[in-house]
Every structure is written in structure tokens, then in C-alpha cells.
Amino acid sequence: MKSPEQQFNNLNQEADSAENKEEKQSAIPPQYKGMPSEIVEELWQNPIYIDEAKNKSETERRQNALEKIKRTEQGRETQKEERLKQQYSGLSDEQKTKFPDAQKDAAKILSECIQGKREIENLSSEESFVLQKLKISYENFKKDNPDKPYSFDFAKDIDKSVYNNLAQRLSFSVVESKRKIDDQEKANAIREELGIPKQEIQGDSLTTPEQNSQQNYEGLEDKDFEEFKVKNGETDIGVFWYEYGNAAAKKLKESGQLEWGKERIYFDIPLDNMEELRDLAFELAKSEKIPIAFKHLDVQKTHQVDLKPDSETTRFVANFASVEDAKRFYQALQQRDEYKKMKSDRNLDYHGYNIDGVANYASGYREKREPLKRIIETAQKNPDNTYSYYSADGSKQITITEEQYNNFADQFNAMPDPGETWKKTNI
């Protein structure tokens, strides 16, 4: 008869044996360690043995190992979710208010990545795996449906968890990136008060979408960027202009790639700097290969009232085919000593993004965005569901239908913010 001590030791040995057996049964072969369960499931194919017991044992071993990998994967994502919840609770009230917009930015970043328009840095292996599957899905869909919008769903819950956690992680990164931009803008405000030149706002890989440094315009030759035509005319009573455009801009305008007023920079410069900036525009369009159409006041013909510092008449405006071209032009221009010496002698609001006190990226907003904003913010709804608002000078009350009001609101909401657009554009 066994002593109690021997019986206890036997029980321990049996328990250890069972644990070892279970561990062995769920052991993951070294060649599959670190791989997603989906890949392991595809690669790990057992041979057929003559011994049925062996077949059963190996099948169970494979199944147990796969379940272990899946549990590990789900546990990993659950831990991520908990960390993200804690991270959100640590945000300030202001950051929490901005978080929904950051989520929209993150969704756009992921969409651009799936479409091959940009890359995302510092991805984990599971994040790269899920995004790569979505990229392949997108490419296959577009081959058969080039004109249809792409949407996706996840066949596996783990992929959905990985994607959702990545989207949340990127959202926090966007919040942090924008905080850094805000800090730079505050520093620029202090510089402006002290009379120190502003510094260009620096974004990062999240707040600056991947773009080619130079647009690929087919059919354009080097000479198209340096050949300019000039026109002189009156656009308003007593307001005369010199208008210049290179052959590249003309060709892109004819093909619909350059839309006058869509992408533009206003330069609020003294009248004495008109010709100097004109010559710089000629030079940079040639050296940087930029399609450009610009105009400036004819100070000899224009009425004196429109030349005074308190006038709201535009003095110099340049049009581009894209915001990337606009930014390439500006970044080359800001390096020139001639431009650095130019200082604005007035404080005209272009309802856009004031880059450096002289250049204003407004993307046509002065003509369209501000009137739309005024209408949707000041219009009052009437009992008959119409809306009434006053003209810009307050002299006339205008009434529009509810449908017209909603149309104006949709147009305004569809227009991207010029400051965000400029800051997010990397070249």
C-alpha cells in the first residue's frame, strides 16, 4: 500500500504529465511562430499517415495550436482596446471635443493607404497584414469596377479588431500632431507681436499626405513653363490689370486640369513690389516647372482710390493647377532674398490661410467661401420655411427657399478649410 506522500507525488506526476501533454498538443511549430493564424492555417497542412491514431493526434495538435494562436491574437487586440480607452480618458476636454475630427482624418489616411496614395509609418506586423489584404481587395475591385466606389467588410473578426484599433491609434496620433501645429502657430503669433518673421509650420507624416514633389503633367515641354503671354484689361470700373500665363497653364486650363480661382495665393505686397514679384514668378515657373497664371494691378491706369492701403482691391494673385504646385512655388519663393524683404503695408483679410503676413493661400475662398459662410450663419428661418438674410453691405434683405439654403450649406461644408489643406500638403 502506498503512503500518503507517495500518492501525493503520483498525483503531481499525473498532473504534470497531463499539462505537458496539453502543452505539447498545442505547441506551435517554430516555423509558424509569429505568423497570423490565417497564414498558419493555410501553410500548416498535415500529411496523411497510415496510422489512424497518428492522423487524429496530428489533427488535434494542429487545431489546438491554431486555437492558441487565435486566443493570443484576440488577447493582444483586447489589450490594445484597454490601452486606447485609458489613453482617451487622459485627453483634455478640448482634445476630446476635437477627437471626432481626428477620427475622420484617420479614416481618410487609411483610405489613402488602401488606395496606394500614401504609406503609414511604424505599422505592426498584424496592421501591415490587414492593410495589405485591403490593398489587394481594392486593386481587384477596381479592375472590374473602375467607376464604382470601393467599400469593404471583414470576413474575420480579428481583422476587424486590428483595423479598428489601428484607426483609433492613428486618431490619437492626429490629435498629437495637431497639438504640435497649434504650438507652432502660437509661437508664430508671439513672433509677429515681437516683429520677428514667422516660421513655416512643420507637419509630420500624418498631417502631411504623401504627394509627389512635382506633378506629372503629360504633354508639357520645358518651354511651356517659360513662355508667357500678357494681357491688359479692366475687370471693374477703374481697376486695370496685367495678366500673365505660361503655355503650361493655358494647356492645363484647356484640358480642365487648371481651374481659375480654385488654387491660388494672394500676395499682399506694396505697389512698388509688383514688378519685382512678377519677375520672380517668371523665374520660378521656369526653374521649378510650375504651370502658373497670375495678375497684378496696373498702377498707372487704376484709380487712385483703389491703390490706397485702406482699399480692399486685390493687388497680386497667382493661380495654380494644384495646392502642391502652389506650395512648391511658395517654398521656392520664400528662399529668395527679394521676397524676404517684402512686407505688407495693409491688413486685408483674404478669408484664407495667412502663411507669412504677405502670402495668403485662399483657394478662391475670398470670392466664394466667405459669402456662403455669411449666408448660412446669418440667415434667419421664416415661418413659411424660407430663409432671409441681408446683403454684404446690409442694404437689401434677400429671401431664399429652404432648398436653396440647404444647397448653400452643402457647398460650404464641402469646401476644405484652407489652413488645414495647406498644412497637410507635403511636397
Each residue of 278-292: pLDDT tens digit? 999 999 999 999 999
Weakest-pLDDT range from 31-35, 72-76, 253-257: 31-35
- Go through the chain and tell me how many residues it has: 427
Q: What is the pLDDT of residue 115?
A: 87
C-alpha atoms less than 13 angstroms from C-alpha of 289 in its C-beta half-sphere: 10
Q: What is the pLDDT of residue 55?
A: 87
pLDDT tens for each residue of 360-413: 998 765 566 777 888 889 999 999 999 999 887 788 888 999 988 888 887 777
Q: How far is CA 153 from the centre of its chain?
A: 23
How confident is the model over 226-242, as a mean pLDDT?
A: 90
Fold of the domain built from segment(s) 369-414: CBS domain Like (3.90.1280)
Q: What does the alpha-carbon distance between residue 131 and residue 120 come to, in Å, rounded to a whole number?
A: 10
Residue ranges matching CATH 3.30.2430.10 in the chain:
222-364
Candidates 239, 261, 398, 405; CA nearest to 313 is 239
Q: Which residues contact 306 (CB under 8 A, 6 or more apart)?
A: 238, 239, 297, 313
36-39 LR contacts (CB < 8 Å, sep 24+): 36/69, 36/73, 36/125, 36/126, 36/129, 37/66, 37/69, 37/70, 37/73, 37/158, 38/156, 39/129
Please say whether the structural domain 222-364 has been given the CATH code 3.30.2430.10.
yes
Q: What is the pLDDT of residue 300?
A: 92
Where does the pLDDT of residue 215 fall: very low under 50, low under 70, confident under 90, or very high at 90 and above?
Answer: low
Cell of 159: 481583422
Weakest-pLDDT range from 29-43, 83-97, 228-242, 293-307: 29-43
pLDDT for residue 99 is more than 60: yes
How many CB atoms neighbour CB 214 within 10 A? 13
Residue ranges matching CATH 3.90.1280 in the chain:
369-414
How confident is the model over 270-274, as a mean pLDDT?
A: 94
Residue 29: phi, psi to the nearest 5? Answer: -55, 140
Q: What does the alpha-carbon distance between residue 302 and residue 218 come to, in Å, rounded to a whole number?
A: 39
pLDDT for residue 205 is more than 80: no
Instruction: Tell me the sheet residues that pair with 316.
Output: 296
Cα four-point dihedral sign 181, 182, 185, 190: negative
Q: What is the pLDDT of residue 420?
A: 83
